């Protein structure tokens, strides 16, 4: 894995992605949580092929601004770029940006941690007691 890995994803804003339908507001525009989910998905997918068997990444930090509204029916493009790998090799930092057909709608940074998938899931399940 090395700095500079890029990811890109395109999606169309559909009714199920509107703020008024996901509980993040009353307006019929692309919801911030859906933008964040697309950012996380794009970053995760961009590095997946570079991970050892049994490893995956989990989101640990999202610091993005949502600067413009996007109505239903427009296409959104998410771009990610791996900009930093922590010295321990386990924390990945990405520059992220999202655009609709009119321009920039969001940008910021996102961090993901590399974890052992089975161990991570087992630890989470153990919380149930």
Phi-psi sector, 29: left (phi>0), alpha (psi -120 to 50), beta: beta
Query: What CATH number did the domain enclosing 15 receive?
Result: 3.10.129.10
What is the span of the domain harbouring residue 10?
A: 6-126
Alpha helix segments (H runs only) across 1-129: 19-22, 32-48, 117-126
Side-chain half-sphere exposure of 57, counting CA atoms within 13 A: 27
Question: Is 72 domain-assigned?
Answer: yes
User: What residues are annotated to the active site?
Assistant: 32, 40, 66
Side-chain half-sphere exposure of 53, counting CA atoms within 13 A: 0
Question: Is 1 domain-assigned?
Answer: no
| Residue 59 annotated as lining a ligand binding site | yes
**pLDDT tens per residue, range 24-62:** 999 999 999 999 999 999 999 999 999 999 999 999 999
Question: Facing residues of 82 across strands?
Answer: 94
Q: What is the pLDDT of residue 64?
A: 98
Structural domain count, the chain: 1
Alpha-carbon gap, residue 103 to 97, rounded angstroms: 11
Mean pLDDT of 67-72: 98
| Residue 112 annotated as lining a ligand binding site | yes
Query: How does the average pLDDT of the chain come out, rounded?
Result: 97
Mean pLDDT of 67-84: 98
Q: What is the pLDDT of residue 129?
A: 79
């Amino acid at each position: 894995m090395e700095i500079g890995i890029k990811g890109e994803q395109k999606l169309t804003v559909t009714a199920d992605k509107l703020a008024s339908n996901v509980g993040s507001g009353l307006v019929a525009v692309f919801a911030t949580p859906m933008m964040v989910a697309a950012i996380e998905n794009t970053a995760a997918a961009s590095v997946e092929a570079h991970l050892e068997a049994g490893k995956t990444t989990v989101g640990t930090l999202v610091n993005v601004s949502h600067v413009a509204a996007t109505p239903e029916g427009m296409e959104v493009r998410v771009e990610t770029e791996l900009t930093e790998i922590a010295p321990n090799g386990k924390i990945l930092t990405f520059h992220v940006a999202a655009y609709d057909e009119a321009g920039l709608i969001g940008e910021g940074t996102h961090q993901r941690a590399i974890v052992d998938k089975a161990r991570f899931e087992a630890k989470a399940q153990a919380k149930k007691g």
